[in-house]
Amino acid sequence: MSALATIAFYLGVIAYSAASTLFFLELARQSVQASRSAWGPRVLAAGAVVHSVHIVVASLVLKRCPVESLHFGLSFSALVAVAAFLLLRRHANLDPMGVIVAPIALTFLVGAQFVGVDLEPEQLVSRPLLVSHVTANVLGLGLFVVAGASGLLYLLQERRLRDKRAGGVASRLPSLDALDRTTHRLLLGGFPLLTFGVVTGAIFSRQFDSFAGAALARTLFGFATWFLLAGVLVLRRLAGVRGRRAAYGTVAGVLCVLLVVLIYVVRPGGHS
């Protein structure tokens, strides 16, 4: 059983690495001829399948529900990001986003191996609330990662258009309109999850003996992220703020999300 989990893990690493390379080569290709087939997304999808197998089998071996563990949570959020990307690319030509999504999935899959299996507040909070909190965060993180990738590519494409440069990498990037729409949809999907995660996170923090240090920083960054992304959504809705400013806001918000995760991962005693 554990051998199957290990094999699935290594296959996932290989598939994500290959997909990252394929996406990069496709973006950097010199020829103007369109590639005959989209191998990057296919390999990424194959990676997602073995990644799923790894999570299911490894969680059975360790007797841990995937959403009760940061180890699996991180890994699972990468899977969510990949799934979201693969679904969205069917509606618009978003393949170049794979150059960001695939390496991030690889990083999360490998990085999760260095994170402890148990959750810190396991003994302190109610199990259903904990499961809901982690599930919301895992799903939200996956969606925000793709939103961040989309926002970054928007800024890159916009910069190239402002510079009035033709050809090169930018000519193969998705259109500004597609990137803006994608970012917005992902934020809309991820924001309720973020809200739930922030609120439940704050509840957990209050239950700790000392509401200080890493927990405090986490909570503060959580709220800052919430305000930032709420601002992006509200300003778009009320004042039509989109495009570059929205992309900057999104990228900043996603960086805050990643910072919160990082603070959690490197908390004292939080890693194996």
Binding region for other proteins (CB under 8 A) out of 121-129, 171-179, 206-214, 260-268? 171-179
> Tokens representing 205?
């923090």
Would you count residue 173 as binding other proteins (CB under 8 A)?
yes
Contact pattern from residue 78 through residue 97 relative to other proteins, giving x for each residue in contact according to CB under 8 A and a dash for the rest: --------------xx----
Would you count residue 184 as binding other proteins (CB under 8 A)?
no
Q: Of the two residues 28 and 129, which places its CB atom closer to other proteins in the complex?
A: 28
Would you count residue 176 as binding other proteins (CB under 8 A)?
yes
Binding region for other proteins (CB under 8 A) out of 5-13, 67-75, 107-115, 154-162? 154-162
Would you count residue 3 as binding other proteins (CB under 8 A)?
no
Closest CA to 100 of 151, 52, 136, 140: 151
Distance CA 150, CA 145 (A): 9
Q: Of the two residues 2 and 171, which places its CB atom closer to other proteins in the complex?
A: 171
CB of 162 vs other proteins, minimal distance in Å: 7
Q: Which residues contact 10 (CB under 8 A, 6 or more apart)?
A: none
Q: Other CB atoms closer than 10 Å to residue 237's CB: what's the count? A: 10
Q: Contacts with other proteins: how many residues (CB under 8 A)?
A: 31
Helix 127-162 / helix 70-88 crossing angle, nearest 10 deg: 40
Dihedral over alpha carbons 186, 190, 191, 197 (to 10 degrees): -170
